[in-house]
């Protein structure tokens, strides 16, 4: 699933689908989770938002139901590819996805889910983006 609009588009929070349950995006993500399909939600942030980190990783499930092992696996894979990773379960990170509705739904159903925020400097550099994609790919391969 791809939500192809900026979260600030539209009126109010109408386009901020990661934080809403009343959207087609959420309905489809919920149906996929009910069918036991894991999810990865990718986001981006300005380098100045979290200048000490390249990537922010969480499971998006909120504090009560964090399954940290999936997040730890991704954080290790990213760290092994020379990324500075903010681990939302270990410290306070900006944009840690704790109010992510799709992650919470996956958590309710005990389905693997990752919420990952990439800095612009990662997204805008083809080599770095390729290394980041390889880390995500290696992590989700374990879900098979």
Give the tens place of pLDDT for each residue, 112-133.
Answer: 999 999 999 999 999 999 999 9
* HSE, side-chain direction, 13 A CA sphere, residue 11: 0
Domain ranges of the chain: 39-143
Q: Band of the pLDDT at 67, cuts 50, 70, 90?
A: low
The SS3 of residue 117 is strand
Please tell me the pTM assigned to this model. Answer: 0.89
Backbone angles phi, psi at 72, to 5 degrees: -60, -40
Q: Average pLDDT for residues 88-106, to the nearest whole number?
A: 88
Whether the predicted pLDDT of 63 surpasses 70: no
Q: What is the DSSP letter of 64?
A: G
Closest CA to 94 of 39, 46, 61, 42: 46
Closest CA to 41 of 116, 109, 95: 116
Which overall architecture, per CATH, does domain 39-143 show? Answer: 3-Layer(aba) Sandwich (3.40)
């Amino acid at each position: 699933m791809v939500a192809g609009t900026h979260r600030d588009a539209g009126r109010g929070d109408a386009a901020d689908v990661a934080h809403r349950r009343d959207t087609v995006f959420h309905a489809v993500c919920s149906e996929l989770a009910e069918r036991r399909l894991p999810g990865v939600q990718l986001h981006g942030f300005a380098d100045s938002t979290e200048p000490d980190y390249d990537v922010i990783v969480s499971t998006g499930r909120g504090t009560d139901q964090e399954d940290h092992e999936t997040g730890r696996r991704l954080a290790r894979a990213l760290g092994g590819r020379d990324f500075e990773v903010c681990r939302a379960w270990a410290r306070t990170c900006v944009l840690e996805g704790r109010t992510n509705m799709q992650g919470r739904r996956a958590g309710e159903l005990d389905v693997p889910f990752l919420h990952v925020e990439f800095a612009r400097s990662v997204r805008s550099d083809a080599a770095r983006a390729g290394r980041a994609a390889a880390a995500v790919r290696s992590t989700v391969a374990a879900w098979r």
